[in-house]
Amino acid sequence: MKVFLKLLILFIIHIKPISSATTSTTAKFAVIMDFETENILYDKDANSRIYPASMSKLMTLYVLFEEISSGNINMDTEFLVSEKAWRKGGSKMFVEIDSYVKVKDLLKGIIVQSGNDACIVVAEGISGSEDAFADLMNSKAKKLGLLNSNFKNSTGWPDDEHYMTPYDLALLSKKLINDFPEFFNMFKEKEFTFNNIKQGNRNPLLYSYQFSDGLKTGYTEASGFSLAATAEKSGRRLIAVLSGMDSVKERKDETIKLLEWGFREYININLFNANETIIEADVWLGDKSIIDLITKNNVNFTLHKRNINNYTAKVIYNNPLPAPINTDTEYGKLIIQNTFKGDLEYPLYAKESIKKAGVFKKISSALSFFIFGGYAE
């Protein structure tokens, strides 16, 4: 009865038109993604190819995190600094040629200092060469669903065939945070000293936006000023990727503006957890007369805040359900209507298996159903 009341309260709701919220940005390319639902709240040419510059290093870090997590290397593993790494221009960690550097230092050299030299040391240490590491990056990108990305190096160094999209960068950021939470706290470190040279984190939001805790800046003449950022506010996380801005200040201000817009205008509804009972169904001629129907995934979705009371939901299933019943067969649907992404459907499954009843149970159950319209235990 408790579940039934919950459904009544949540699902029988007056429907109103869903209103839209708009904003704008001076960035040439931008996307705002909700971390939990992956809903795209804002899209300005988010599927266009851009030069990702140092935001590419998020993929270098993903591969490195995976190597550590799999046990192939550890934080104290040391990689040799080649002449190529030592000579590399741009932002640097300032490693010394022919020296060995620990992975834990290389991580901070990439995350905090955006070291191109550190990326090449990692690439050569894992794959033997930067070209081979770029192949590994591309293979991993396909597995992660980054469908419009191509890597030619580990650093984001300008190359006409090295590209990503803002959407791919947002998705990569989400997977990096989700898959490697044990490393994510490193992104909010504001400074790191290596070889007696102290450098500050290049992410401007860490110094001016209290809800920010990562990820990575980027800049080349071709790409302009870019930023892949994330922030958490009141338990909700957003990811923003902006590219093609003209200054450091514009990069900071535009990113904060879009993040605040996303937090202000939208909300997530967590209606049911995975494996939570949605509704009880009768069972026809089974060794149990009642079965709980569940979803195997969390039921959560994004709404505009002005429409928080305007979504609807319904359960569709055939009652009673004939035995035998197993946990892998879909027995109904939970349909959520009028969400940010329109109507959402969640298959309903039995919480447990139920066998066919014995002969005497079948007789008593059938009589109960025809006489009383239901079952008596």
Q: What residues form DSSP beta bridges with 141?
A: none
Radius of gyration over every alpha carbon of the chain, rounded to an integer in angstroms: 26
Catalytic, out of 56, 82, 91, 114? 114
For this structure, is 56 an active site residue? no
Query: By three-state DSSP, how is residue 345 classified?
Result: strand
CA distances from 145 to 61, 148, 366 (A): 17, 9, 51
Q: How many Å apart are CA 105 and CA 77, to the nearest integer?
A: 10
DSSP category for residue 18:
P
* Cβ atoms of 146 and 168 closer than 8 Å: yes
Catalytic, out of 28, 44, 54, 92? 54
Catalytic, out of 57, 92, 108, 216? 57
Q: How many Å apart are CA 46 and CA 40, to the nearest integer?
A: 10
For this structure, is 70 an active site residue? no
For residue 25, give both structure tokens.
């940005």
Cβ burial 103-118 (10 Å sphere, 16+ → b, else e) = bebbbbbbbbbbbbbb
Residue with tokens 């894992």: 126
For this structure, is 54 an active site residue? yes
Instruction: Write phi, then psi, for 155 (nearest 5 degrees).
Output: -110, -25
DSSP category for residue 17:
P
Catalytic residues: 54, 57, 114
